[in-house]
A and B are shown apart, each in its own frame.
Chain A
Amino acid sequence: MIRTIWALMQKEFHQVIRDRIMLRLIFVAPLIQLLLLGYTANTDVKLIYTAFYDFDQSELSREYIRSFTVGDYFVRRTSDIPLVEATKGFKENKFNAVMVIPVDFSKNIQWGKPGKVGFMVDGTNANSASIALGYANIITSQFNQRVSGFASPVSLGGKILYNPEAKSVYFMVPGIVATLLTVITMMLTCMAIVREREIGTLEQLMVTPITTPALLLGKIIPFALIGFLEMSIALAFGIIWFKIPFVGSWPLLYGLSFLFLFTTLGVGIFISTVVKTQQQAMFFSWFFSLFALMTSGFFTPIANIPKSIQYLTYINPLRYFMKIVRGIIMKGASLDALYPEVAAMVIFGLVVFSFSWIRFSKRVK
């Protein structure tokens, strides 16, 4: 049995190494993906180009503006566009925000009345707009304290934990690692089985004394190993290149990844039992990956997804694994803390893997 599995594994590795295009697809593409996503899927909001229309032109209004421009977030954009045509500036991307300080700003404040300021943000990207608005609020309340000399009734001492600079790359790389492991193990397993059926060698194998468990193990172990290798490369790259702080436990991460593989390999085997050609297998895997990715919280927090669709995310194994990977890497989460996700992984793994295993065994008989 072990000799048979070993023979299959060797053959599988030979085939992977032989296929130059596949080899590049497996090892180079993910790194490019990592690099691209690490830089482009950037939700950090910095450099908000702002046009300030100061009609008050007082000491106070200038100080207010200065409190914005001293930080990293707001950059002053001088604009000769009249205020009434400010929308033109947004359209031409001259600036992303406009602040209007009316003539009675400082007078109102001196008289104890609220100094009203207009602030408009380009909402094309809703996410960065709300972040910009948030920054503006914070700066304004700090300014209020300074001017009035009184402390506001409530003063919020905010601090962002685990990712104090709110760098999105810290968040994206663990997500990419989880995604890679899913796609690679599922797709490669599925393709390897379907290819074998397509060229007719599966039938040939059925006439040999090979047992179904040996056949399946020989098929999935190589791709599980490749999955782990890729995950390690991506992690190393993330840590060395993007300087991701890895605060958790390596054994725990790999242990739980191993657990997760039962689900992805199971899905791969399942797809191989329902499709006939490699193209169909490719399409099926792509569809599954897309679903898994969209509802995993990789790009958008699950809480932002409409309630009715949120229920769908519960049947997505990647959702749990995403939380596990991010939890371990960023927060150093322990097994106790991840208990619900681990339980979900166990259930998914058991159900999906055994179901696919049985289905595959029946199909080859």
Chain B
Amino acid sequence: MSSVEVAHLNKTYGSLRAVKDFNFSAREGEILALVGPDGAGKTSIFRAICGLIEYDSGEIRIAGYDTSREFEKIKPLLGYMPQTFSLYPDLSVEENLYFYAGIFGLKRHQFNEKKKLLYQFSGLEPFHNRRAAALSGGMKQKLALSCALIHDPSVLMLDEPTTGVDPLSRRQFWDILKHLKKDGSTIVVSTPYMDEVALSDRAILVHQGTKLAEGTPDELIRLFSGRVYLAKVQPTTERMEKLEKIQGIISRRFGSSIHIYPRLDMTKDDFYGQLELAGIGPDIIEPVSPDLEDIFIQLMGD
């Protein structure tokens, strides 16, 4: 049985269709990532699942309970971490934890046990007296996650938990998530970072309120139907503009180099010839295996 099931979810804001007939399910012991750029509708999906907004149509079930009718039964099972940092900035790390423990009705000794555990994985123990406002971005997110975990939820909904967090903290955060799923929790996490897809068990690429693709990281990579080349030159604005003018190719900045996708029916000679005209010689171009962002760009272009 799936822990989170979303069927035919629709949500509009005025004339904007934020979520269009969205379907997915997440199983126990699985990390499901919703990946997409800002404004893709990820947060709307999360808020609908957590009962924070009314949706136009569709059905959402958590642990078999219908969220629109049996939400009170879901609350104790659900851990939610909203996109914006929403802890009490003027309370200390421990006071924040203690508050949520109180809200979920934990007894003092239960809190103390849980606290020890949460400090263990978050590494927040040395900062237990520090005010939440004075924590670094990564530590804030770890504290927010700890608060969401205080009542041992079986379903975790994490809305962009790693946005704006330094790479090391992101890595640590994902390690925590991997640890949690071993206990059988269902974890649904949204992110704008393509590289985090590789860390999830399954991912859904979301764009403009619809599902572009769904699958394991490997499955998603296999979706890429074309070739991708790496041009080892600086992606200057001038160069990017030149590339944009060439018919039949798509290009994007890739660190300090450029990723270039030729159209499927383009011949090799035509491709190299066109690039030479733009000042990129064949000696600095090499074929590479596509990453997830390449796939995203290709799917979005279709």
A→B interface (CB under 8 Å): 3-4, 6-8, 10-11, 14-15, 18-19, 199-201, 203-210
Residues in A neighbouring B101, C-beta threshold 8 A: 7
* Pick from B52, B89, B90, B100: contact of A208, CB under 8 Å: B100
How far does the Cβ of B130 sit from chain A's closest Cβ, in whole Å?
13
Count of CB-CB pairs between chains A and B under 8 Å: 68
Closest 5 pairs (CB-CB, A-B): A7-B102, A200-B86, A207-B80, A209-B75, A11-B99
Tell me whether B88 is interfacial, beta carbon within 8 Å: yes
Given A4-B103, A207-B52, 10 more pairs with CB closer than 8 A = A7-B102, A15-B88, A19-B90, A199-B89, A200-B82, A200-B85, A204-B86, A205-B103, A207-B75, A209-B105
Q: A4-B105, A207-B78, A207-B80 are in contact. Are A201 and B90 (CB under 8 A)?
A: no
How far does the Cβ of B266 sit from chain A's closest Cβ, in whole Å?
49
Q: A14-B91, A204-B82, A207-B80 are in contact. Are A7 and B103 (CB under 8 A)?
A: yes
How far does the Cβ of B190 sit from chain A's closest Cβ, in whole Å?
16
Give me 10 A-to-B residue pairs in the complex whose CB atoms sit less than 8 angstroms apart, sorted by A's number.
A3-B105, A7-B101, A11-B102, A14-B91, A18-B91, A200-B86, A206-B51, A208-B75, A209-B72, A209-B76
Residue from the set A6, A10, A19 with the largest chain B CB neighbour count within 10 Å: A10
A contacts with B: majority SS: helix
- B87 in contact with A201 (CB, 8 Å): yes
- B86 in contact with A11 (CB, 8 Å): no
Q: A200-B82, A207-B51 are in contact. Are A8 and B103 (CB under 8 A)?
A: yes
Residue from the set B78, B84, B86, B87 with the largest chain A CB neighbour count within 10 Å: B86
Residues in B neighbouring A19, C-beta threshold 8 A: 90
- A11 in contact with B91 (CB, 8 Å): yes
Number of interface residues of B (CB under 8 A): 27
Q: A4-B103, A14-B95 are in contact. Are A207 and B89 (CB under 8 A)?
A: no
- A11 in contact with B88 (CB, 8 Å): yes
Residues in B neighbouring A4, C-beta threshold 8 A: 102-103, 105
Q: How far is the CA of A62 from the CA of B132 in the complex (A)?
A: 79
Q: How far is the CA of A14 from the CA of B99 in the complex (A)?
A: 10
Tell me whether B50 is interfacial, beta carbon within 8 Å: yes
Residues in A neighbouring B72, C-beta threshold 8 A: 209
Chain B, 194-241, CB within 8 A of any chain A CB:
none
Residues in B neighbouring A208, C-beta threshold 8 A: 75, 100, 103-104
Residues in A neighbouring B91, C-beta threshold 8 A: 11, 14-15, 18
The residue on B at minimum CB distance from A16 is B90
How far does the Cβ of B114 sit from chain A's closest Cβ, in whole Å?
14
- B51 in contact with A203 (CB, 8 Å): no
How far does the Cβ of B43 sit from chain A's closest Cβ, in whole Å?
12
Residue from the set A6, A8, A201, A205 with the largest chain B CB neighbour count within 10 Å: A201
The residue on A at minimum CB distance from B72 is A209
How far does the Cβ of A195 sit from chain B's closest Cβ, in whole Å?
10
- Per-residue interface assignment for chain B, residues 153 to 176, with 1 indicating a CB less than 8 Å from any chain A CB and 0 otherwise: 000000000000000000000000
* Pick from B78, B102, B131: contact of A3, CB under 8 Å: B102
Residues in A neighbouring B104, C-beta threshold 8 A: 208-209
- A199 in contact with B86 (CB, 8 Å): yes
Q: A4-B103, A201-B88 are in contact. Are A207 and B50 (CB under 8 A)?
A: yes
Residues in B neighbouring A11, C-beta threshold 8 A: 88, 91, 95, 99, 102
Residue from the set B87, B103, B105 with the largest chain A CB neighbour count within 10 Å: B103
Residues in B neighbouring A201, C-beta threshold 8 A: 86-88
- A15 in contact with B90 (CB, 8 Å): yes
How far does the Cβ of B78 sit from chain A's closest Cβ, in whole Å?
6
Q: How far is the CA of A210 from the CA of B100 in the complex (A)?
A: 10
The residue on A at minimum CB distance from B85 is A200
Q: How far is the CA of A208 from the CA of B103 in the complex (A)?
A: 7
Q: How far is the CA of A18 from the CA of B89 in the complex (A)?
A: 11
How far does the Cβ of B107 sit from chain A's closest Cβ, in whole Å?
8
Residues in A neighbouring B100, C-beta threshold 8 A: 208
The residue on B at minimum CB distance from A22 is B90
How far does the Cβ of A17 sit from chain B's closest Cβ, in whole Å?
10
